[in-house]
Chains A and B, each alone.
Chain A
Amino acid sequence: MDSEPLWEVFIRSKQGLEHKHVGSLHAADAKMAIENARDVYTRRMEGVSIWVVESKNIFATNPDEAESLFDPANDKIYRHPTFYNLPDELKYM
């Protein structure tokens, strides 16, 4: 069954939260991928909703370009909203 394509699985753990990537699996088509995802990734009440997308449809950044893409952010600490004085009354920030 090596010919079956690979799928990426995204699960919403509860209503109101976003779908999160949990892993991948093999399946012949989308319908089977959903069922496989249900059987493999939601056995312990992990989810209330499942998305699957064929892995080949995901476009990813090239690791070779990681330096030019991500390193420049390293010294831009002013992009973090940490330079404000928060009033004492404001909690949970």
Chain B
Amino acid sequence: MDSKTTNNPQNDLVSFSLFLADSSLIMGHRLSEWTGHGPMLEQDIAISNIALDLIGQARNFYQYSAKLNNEIYPGKNTTEDDLAYLRDANQFKNLLITELPNGDWSKTIGKIFFFSSWQFYFYQKLISSSDDQLAAIAEKSLKEVTYHNKWSSEWVIRLGDGTKESKKRTQNAIDDLWQYTGELFIATEFEINVEKCLCIDVRAIREDWLKKVKAVLKEATLHFPSEESWMQKGGKDGIHTEHLGFILAEMQFLQRAYPGLEW
């Protein structure tokens, strides 16, 4: 880690930390759009709590990314806010599933279910990684994610095994979202590079994830989409859907229009 060249392995660690930060932030920001619009007061609060948990996780990962970045480029004094508010869409490394529009309640539930199931197994691996800071963030986040996963699993079961209408909508949501679950388990270059030192194999997490998803869909009396189907990818490498730009336009507006503004 003493090299200051562009091949600095610490750059990969920054990318890896940013990938986790961006995924949590964009997911959290999307879910925050439900605040004040939930189907009932209790669920409005529940989903706002989840959004806040995710934004909290993002902050931890951004702070760590900024620290690593400042070690590589001393004098730049990058802050967590710079990383969240002053990067463009092609620099964001979030998973595509996090930026998709919320749709109806069943689609939002499907998003949280797929994403939190992935986080659940991913953070379990990250806890035992050799990077103390990432391990500590993962340990704190895992408690939150465990609840998100339980909550969304129960909603999938409730809606799938509910009325004719709720079953139809939930099946449609699962089928629509499915193509965005592939990239969760395709390691991109910086992941492969950090895997060696962090000992995280993202592909190995897939087996646990599939088992969990299949069990919940079965209990929800929903059919499981094909494992062989074509999958979208690109989020981790900055290639996004058309939706991310709109999210950033809203989220970053204030800092772009009034740089450094605080309240």
Chain A min CB distance to B182 (Å): 30
Q: Taking beta carbons and an 8 Å cutoff, which residues of B are in contact with A?
A: 39-43, 45-46, 49, 147, 151, 154, 158
Chain B hits for A4, CB < 8 A = 40
A25–B42 touching, CB < 8 Å = yes
A40–B45 touching, CB < 8 Å = yes
Is A22 engaged at the interface, CB distance under 8 Å to the other chain?
Answer: no
Is A56 engaged at the interface, CB distance under 8 Å to the other chain?
Answer: no
B40–A43 touching, CB < 8 Å = no
Complex Cα distance A26/B46, Å? 13
Chain B min CB distance to A61 (Å): 28
Of the stretches A31-39, A63-71, A82-90, the one at the interface is A31-39
Q: Taking beta carbons and an 8 Å cutoff, which residues of A are in contact with B?
A: 1, 4, 25-28, 31-32, 35-36, 38-40, 43
Complex Cα distance A35/B40, Å? 14
Chain B min CB distance to A21 (Å): 17
For B150, the closest partner residue in chain A by CB is: A35
For A38, the closest partner residue in chain B by CB is: B147
Given contacts A39-B49, A43-B49, whether A27 and B42 have CB atoms under 8 Å apart is: yes
B154–A26 touching, CB < 8 Å = no
Chain B hits for A35, CB < 8 A = 46, 151, 154
Chain A min CB distance to B157 (Å): 10
B42–A40 touching, CB < 8 Å = yes
Chain B min CB distance to A46 (Å): 13
Complex Cα distance A27/B42, Å? 8
Complex Cα distance A26/B154, Å? 16
Complex Cα distance A4/B41, Å? 12
For B162, the closest partner residue in chain A by CB is: A28
Could you jot down 10 A-B contacts, CB within 8 Å? A1-B39, A1-B40, A25-B42, A32-B158, A35-B151, A36-B43, A36-B46, A38-B147, A39-B49, A40-B42
Chain A hits for B41, CB < 8 A = 25-26, 40
A39–B158 touching, CB < 8 Å = no
Complex Cα distance A36/B158, Å? 15
A39–B46 touching, CB < 8 Å = yes
Complex Cα distance A67/B192, Å? 77
Chain A hits for B40, CB < 8 A = 1, 4, 26
